[in-house]
Structure formats: structure tokens, C-alpha cells
Amino acid sequence: MVSKITSEIKVSVTAVYDHFNSYPSENRYVFKYHIEIQNLGSKTVKLLSRRWMIYDLGFGFTEVEGAGVIGLTPTLESGESFSYFSNVILKSGVGNMEGSYLFESFGKPDLCVEIPKFNLVSEVLSN
């Protein structure tokens, strides 16, 4: 697990290789990741959007942007947390991801919160 705190918002990420849904012979390596977002501050915040930079070894970078996460734009009161699961597919089986969330902070300017970089290495290639 990796974690990072930006502007009193803590983002923690755990990633695992999904061997059941991966097909290395077809250059399809699936990784599941779990994100937990915690509001450590005293102000209510609302997640508006996300931006990911996905690196796939030998295939370069892909940028993904969009509203909310998994179709939601959660509001977090002070002390609350929100978690979700998602996945990413790599062609090489080795890479990493990092990014940011944009939050509306009631009573403050919008906050750009960093998602810490995490590595993606398939079990097939790590043996």
C-alpha cells in the first residue's frame, strides 16, 4: 500500500495482479486497485474529477480524465472516508500509475489532491 496526504486529504492505494482475468499470451495483464480517500481536515469536500497517468513499459503513457470515480462524486465530511475498486489493463505486464483528484472544498478554493504513484507488475513476469 502507498499513501499520500495533500491538503488534508489522504489517498491510499493497494494494487494486485488479477491473474484470473489476465491473458499474457494476448498481451492482456489486468490489475485491480483499491483506493481509500480520507478527509483529515475540518472542511467538507466533494470529489469532482480524476486524472490518471498510466505507464505501460514499452508502450508509453496514457492519460485518462473524467468526472468523479466509478460514476460517483462523493462528498466527504470531516473525518469521513470513501473507498472504491477499479482496474487497469496493461499490454506489457509492467508499469505504474499516478494521478490526481480535483475536489470542491466548501469555503475554500478547489483542491488538487495527488494520487501516489504505485507499481504494476504481473506475477507472471516477477518470477
Q: Hey, what domains does the chain have and what are their CATH numbers?
A: 2-115 (2.60.40.1470)
What number is the average pLDDT over the span 23-50?
96
Backbone angles phi, psi at 59, to 5 degrees: -120, -10
Q: How high is the pLDDT of residue 79?
A: 97
Q: How high is the pLDDT of residue 35?
A: 98
Q: What is the dihedral of CA 58, 64, 29, 23, to 10 degrees?
A: -110
Q: How high is the pLDDT of residue 124?
A: 64
What is the overall mean pLDDT for the chain? 94
Task: Indicate if the pLDDT at residue 25 is higher than 90.
Answer: yes
Q: How high is the pLDDT of residue 108?
A: 72
Q: How high is the pLDDT of residue 123?
A: 79
Q: Which ranges of the chain would DSSP assign to H, the alpha helix?
A: 123-126
What number is the average pLDDT over the span 78-90?
98
Task: Indicate if the pLDDT at residue 125 is higher than 70.
Answer: no
Q: How high is the pLDDT of residue 2?
A: 98
Q: How high is the pLDDT of residue 37?
A: 98
